[in-house]
Chain A
Amino acid sequence: MTNESAAPVTVLIVEDEPSMRSFLRASLTSHRYRVLEAESGQYGLQLAASHGPDVILLDLGLRDLDGVEVARRLREWTQTPIIVLSARGREQDKVEALDAGADDYLIKPFGMAELLARVRVALRHKAALAQSGEEPLFTVGELRVDLAKRQVFRGSDEIHLTPIAFRLLAVLVRNAGRVVTHRQLLRDVWGAKATDTHYLRVFMGQLRQKLEPNPSKPRYLMTESGVGYRLKEDNGS
Chain B
Amino acid sequence: MSARGMRYGSAVLVVALAALAAGAVFGRSNREDVIMVYLLGIVIVALRFGQGPSLVAGMLSVLTFDFFFVPPYLTFAVHDVRHVVTFAVMMFVAVVISSLTERAREADMRRAEIEGERLKTTLLSSVSHDLRTPLAVMTGAASALLDPASESLSPEDRRHLLSTIYEEGERLGRLIRNLLDISRLESGAVHIKKEWCPIEEIVSSALSRLETRLGDREVRVDVGDDLVAPVDVVLIEQLFVNVLENAAKYAGEDSPIEIAGRRVGDRMFVEIADRGPGFAPGDEKRVFDKFYRGSHQSAPGAGLGLAIAKAIATVHEATLSVANRPGGGATVVLALPIEGAPPPSPLGEVP
Do A196 and B343 touch across chains, with their CB atoms under 8 A apart? yes
Do B351 and A202 touch across chains, with their CB atoms under 8 A apart? yes
A129 → chain B closest CB, angstroms: 28
A26 → chain B closest CB, angstroms: 13
B308-351 with Cβ < 8 A to chain A: 342-343, 345-349, 351
Is residue A77 within 8 Å, beta carbon to beta carbon, of the partner chain?
no
Do B233 and A226 touch across chains, with their CB atoms under 8 A apart? yes
Is residue A194 within 8 Å, beta carbon to beta carbon, of the partner chain?
yes
Do A225 and B349 touch across chains, with their CB atoms under 8 A apart? no
Instruction: Specify the chain A residue showing the minimal Cβ separation from B170.
Output: A109
Is residue B197 within 8 Å, beta carbon to beta carbon, of the partner chain?
yes
Do B196 and A222 touch across chains, with their CB atoms under 8 A apart? no
Do B205 and A190 touch across chains, with their CB atoms under 8 A apart? no
> Complex: how many Å from CA A208 to CA B202?
13
> Complex: how many Å from CA A124 to CA B306?
42
Do A109 and B208 touch across chains, with their CB atoms under 8 A apart? no
Cβ contacts under 8 Å, A197 to chain B = 195, 197
Contacts A162-B351, A206-B225, A225-B233 given; does A216 touch B198 at CB 8 Å: no
Q: Which of B204, B237, B342 has the most CB of A within 10 A?
A: B204
Contacts A109-B173, A205-B201, A223-B201 given; does A194 touch B347 at CB 8 Å: yes
Interface residues as binary, B76-93 with A (CB distance below 8 Å gives 1, 0 otherwise): 000000000000000000
A interface, size bucket: 20 to 34
Instruction: Specify the chain B residue showing the minimal Cβ separation from A219.
Output: B208
Is residue B221 within 8 Å, beta carbon to beta carbon, of the partner chain?
yes
A220 → chain B closest CB, angstroms: 11
Contacts A109-B173, A198-B228, A201-B198 given; does A206 touch B351 at CB 8 Å: yes
Do A201 and B343 touch across chains, with their CB atoms under 8 A apart? no
Do A215 and B233 touch across chains, with their CB atoms under 8 A apart? no
Cβ contacts under 8 Å, A198 to chain B = 195-197, 228, 342-343
A59 → chain B closest CB, angstroms: 18
B126 → chain A closest CB, angstroms: 23
Do A163 and B349 touch across chains, with their CB atoms under 8 A apart? yes
9 contacts between A and B (CB under 8 A): A91-B234, A163-B349, A164-B351, A190-B347, A199-B346, A209-B225, A217-B207, A217-B208, A222-B208
